[in-house]
Amino acid sequence: MFPKILALTVALSMTLCAQWSEPVRVAALSSEADEFAPAWSPSDSTLYFARFDGKCLLILAWRHCPLELLPSSLPAALDTLGDSIVYVSFANERWVGQRYVLGKRQRYAELVGSALPVRRASAAVPLAEINRDGVFAMFPALSPDGERLAFAATDGEHDTTTDLWMSHWMQNHWSAPYRFDGFEQSPLSEITPCFLGRDSLLFASDGFGGKGGFDLFVTAEHVGVWGSPVPLEELNSAADDRDVCVLPNGDLLFASNRAGTFDLYYVKRRKNGRSR
């Protein structure tokens, strides 16, 4: 088994080599505040993201965004969603998001979800199978078919780091979550997973080395086992790079504070060594 996983990791490294273009800051979505948590909703062709100015958190939407104009489009039309539900993921007529709730001693992150479309915060239902008392459950990511849910979570009330966990849709509920099987997660934090395909996952970590801060990695699954993470060298910087979003054409958005505050960056997928 392990030689096959090693071969898969090597093949994945070669496949991803020089696969992405140089990241471009999306000026139309940038401000003096932090922009982060991009998520594409295929049901209404809308890009959702968050903006935080140190006092107020806004959940914003860029309606019917033309993908080819992302780096240089006219200023976006923005509107807000309620309840500060952030880090939303959409797939297969359902969505899952993260929000904070007041616990016995502090606020905890929990996962909530509902059927599409997203209209009111009251439509959000806590995912009882995922949320546990005293544990932060954050950064949900649905697979393209909506059958898998990856997320990051602490392990106990006093844990300050997060690992990657997985749950499966069981027709009317989510299965009991379990840690990713296949690679030893770092002693620090794995966060913001995003499915590149059903069997490949992008995520950020500050515990696997790299260029500095949180870097972006990819792992692929083979026969139920996830291979060792491979860094996305073209995307990573000495700052924090995180919050990947896959657009319908295969291009990426991600958040980075390499310019001082968190902004969204656009990356084109290369085809035959060239950007499309």
Residue 262, CA distances (Å) to 36, 50, 141 in order: 6, 10, 20
172-200 pLDDT, tens digit per residue, is 899 999 998 888 899 999 999 999 988 99
What was the pLDDT predicted at 105? 61
C-beta separation of 191 from 242 below 8 A: yes
Residue 180: closest CA among 160, 203, 196: 203
Residues 6+ apart with CB under 8 A from 32: 53, 261
What was the pLDDT predicted at 10? 46
Ranges of H-type helices in the chain: 2-16
> In the predicted model, is pLDDT for residue 121 greater than 60?
no
What was the pLDDT predicted at 86? 87
Distance CA 133, CA 103 (A): 8
CATH numbers and ranges of domains, the chain? 2-268 (2.120.10.30)
SS3 for 107-140 is EEEEEEEEECCCCCHHHCEECCCCCCCCCCEEEE
> In the predicted model, is pLDDT for residue 264 greater than 50?
yes
Confidence of residue 119 (pLDDT cuts 50, 70, 90): low
